Structure 1
Amino acid sequence: MVAEYNGRAGAWLIATTELARVGKDLDLAQYDTFAQHFDTLNSEHRLFFSGQGRSGLAAQMVAMRFMHMGLPAHFVGEATAPSVRDGDTLVLVSGSGKTPVSLNFAEVAKSEGAKVLLVTHQDSSPLREVADAALVLPVAGSTQFGGTLFEESALIVLDSIVLDQMHRRGVPAETMAYNHTNFL
């Protein structure tokens, strides 16, 4: 059900209602299977994140949180990002599942022996065919502009995986804060 805009407060209620719907409709078995791919990562397994446009911004935010946990996390394309290799993991955020740049990154990662994980809203796509695991976000029917609900949902679902990993690994908030920037 799409909410109707009714002023500023109504816009807020639309966004939060849509996010709550995604949370309610998310396939939790698929979420759990997807999230399990992060359980075995350690300092020898590098994490790479990528996405284009606003999806890329969500991916950058999550890469930062994994770095705060003490895991080697990089955003593809940054000057200090190393090359992807066997045992690494590439996490792609692509609503359409067919973004050419992301598809190229996935193919390179697979050819090097890396695992490819995909967050998307498409049940089938070229990226889904390459990915080892995909998490499909149920974002259809949004009132928000363009892919906004997908981008918001991708950030929240990936941040929830960070929260899960913090607890599973016993990483206290103090460690996260210590690894946070101190240049500000």
Structure 2
Amino acid sequence: MARPMDGAKTWLAVAREVGDLLDNVDETSFGAAVTELLTPGRRWFATGQGRSGLVASMTAMRLMHLGQDVHVLGEATAPSVEAGDGLIVVSGSGETPVSLHYVRRAKEHGARTLAVTAHPSSSLAKLADVVLCVPSRDTAQFSGSLFEQGSLLVLDAVVMALAAGREGEHARMQARHTNMQ
């Protein structure tokens, strides 16, 4: 594991790490995630624990902006997961017990699962129907910071790919953006 940088301009170290991560995202797994999210009529649920859960929530918000029927798992207004639904699970380790439980339960109910993880051979990846690997293992940052940063950016890129080629999509997304601020 890399050591933290001493002195000024540590933000440049973060920028290099994020840039390296993005350079190493697998195009095939990225494309598989985009294809999975393009499934017409599928309701989506998003989850993760800790900061990964915040990334999952931000992704759910952007999918809502795209007009998808999406919910954050565990929120009071989230309906039950049913056959044909999809579950996005963000977990750096791919071993978080709560996340693994959610994937197993979703699969029992006939839902598809999309894992976003740094570990493509993790328990989560083995359970999931589709795996989007966010390669973030070597970092000078604390704990899972690079994974969480990379996951947000990669999932925002997925949203960009979903919106690509749709005339007027940004205007429709803006119209769905909250007006209660």
TM-score bracket for the superposition, by shorter chain length: over 0.9
Give the distance between the partners of 1:79 and 1:171, measured in 2 at CA: 33
Deviations 1:10-42 (A, max 9, x none): x1101110011011112212221222111223x
For residues 1-184 of structure 1, the aligned pairs below 5 Å read 5-9=5-9, 11-41=10-40, 44-170=41-167, 172-184=169-181
Give the distance between the partners of 2:114 and 2:55, measured in 1 at CA: 15
Percent pairwise identity: 42
Deviations 1:65-122 (A, max 9, x none): 1111111111001111011111111000001111111111101110111100000011
Q: CA RMSD in A?
A: 1.7
Q: Give the stretch that moved more between structures: 30-39 or 138-147.
A: 30-39
Partner-residue secondary structure (3-state), 1:49: strand
Partner-residue secondary structure (3-state), 2:82: coil
Q: Give the stretch that moved more between structures: 173-182 or 48-57.
A: 173-182
Provide structure 2 residue ranges, at least 5 long, that are not aligned to the other structure: none
TM value normalised by structure 1: 0.92
Number of aligned residue pairs: give it. Answer: 181
Contact in 1 for aligned 2:30/2:158 (Cα 8 Å)? no
Give the distance between the partners of 1:74 and 1:25, measured in 2 at CA: 30
Contact in 1 for aligned 2:4/2:141 (Cα 8 Å)? no
Give the distance between the partners of 2:68 and 2:129, measured in 1 at CA: 21
The amino acid of 2:19's aligned partner reads: A
